[in-house]
Copies of this chain bind each other. A is one copy, B any other.
């Protein structure tokens, strides 16, 4: 005898008979015909290998042994009901826990803003945040250890889906005494990779900076393990670098480094929310990305294209009006 051959419906029938002490009334309560009830109770008793009820035309009552079974049947049904309740609860969109990763050169600068926005839109959602390099995050995502990640495009998207969130321009950050610090709007062409300070291998920011300067003479660069260290190295006059807007925006410039926009170059990176394309929450995630897009922090753009005649650090959301129309 297999559990799976038991029917929860039959258990309800049995409980109805126990409650009503009458097949006809129980059938009515269950919205089925009396013969249906009779035969299903019979079947159930057959499966259990014993009679649950003692019945005559005058009296229907659970036998002493049947009573014990009915009690357990109630437990089974209660647990099944709990399953349904849980499902109902869990199926609320953007509730529960969201495990979100972001690349290390974005997370520390963006998470505070993201947390505020997310909590405001989805009060019942708990965020579990992670930082890492793109490859690590993608692997965790593929393994199901993360639900979605924020990374810079392009990313190998096989099996994944994404929605862009914002374009984060790069800035040239150089020591104040460096010649480049004096150009109002320096060009990429003026950068020498020999003097370029970069992050260690694995950070997409390193690759993107290198690619932007790939026309230039490339020699060995000095590298830092983190963005903060890089800032200190620049301040120490070790060289200059291309750094993303959000790492610039709230930094108390110490007077030792100069931050110069690279407006005409289009230098920067497109940040996207990425998730497994078979994740049942795909729609929720896409909508979440669009929410983040519409509430993007100041200092970033809606698209990679240069926003003409626009202040470097636009007022909040101003840069995103065009993209909103798209939605």
A81 nearest CB across to chain B (Å)? 5
Asked, given contacts A9-B4, A79-B72, A86-B72, whether A278 binds B55 with beta carbons under 8 Å apart, the answer is yes
Contact residues in B for A82 (Cβ distance below 8 Å) = 72, 75
On whether the beta carbons of A76 and B72 are closer than 8 Å, the reply is no
A145 nearest CB across to chain B (Å)? 10
On whether the beta carbons of B91 and A50 are closer than 8 Å, the reply is yes
A216 nearest CB across to chain B (Å)? 41
Contact residues in B for A280 (Cβ distance below 8 Å) = 50-51, 54, 63
A16 nearest CB across to chain B (Å)? 10
Asked, given contacts A54-B276, A56-B278, A144-B54, whether A88 binds B3 with beta carbons under 8 Å apart, the answer is no
Q: Is A77 an interface residue (CB 8 A)?
A: yes
Asked, given contacts A48-B87, A144-B54, A280-B54, whether A65 binds B96 with beta carbons under 8 Å apart, the answer is yes
Which of A75, A83, A144 gathers most chain B CB within 10 Å?
A83
Q: Is A12 an interface residue (CB 8 A)?
A: yes
A52 nearest CB across to chain B (Å)? 9
A54 nearest CB across to chain B (Å)? 5
Q: Is A217 an interface residue (CB 8 A)?
A: no
Contact residues in B for A125 (Cβ distance below 8 Å) = none
Which residues of A, 10-51, contact B by the 8 Å Cβ criterion?
11-12, 48-51
Asked, given contacts A8-B7, A81-B3, A96-B64, whether A91 binds B58 with beta carbons under 8 Å apart, the answer is no
The CA of A295 and the CA of B159, in the complex, are separated in Å by: 79
Q: Is A127 an interface residue (CB 8 A)?
A: no
Contact residues in B for A279 (Cβ distance below 8 Å) = 54, 63
A interface residue numbers (CB < 8 A to B): 1, 3-9, 11-12, 48-51, 54-56, 58-59, 61, 63-65, 68-69, 72-73, 75-77, 79-84, 86-88, 90-91, 96-97, 99, 144, 147, 159, 276-281
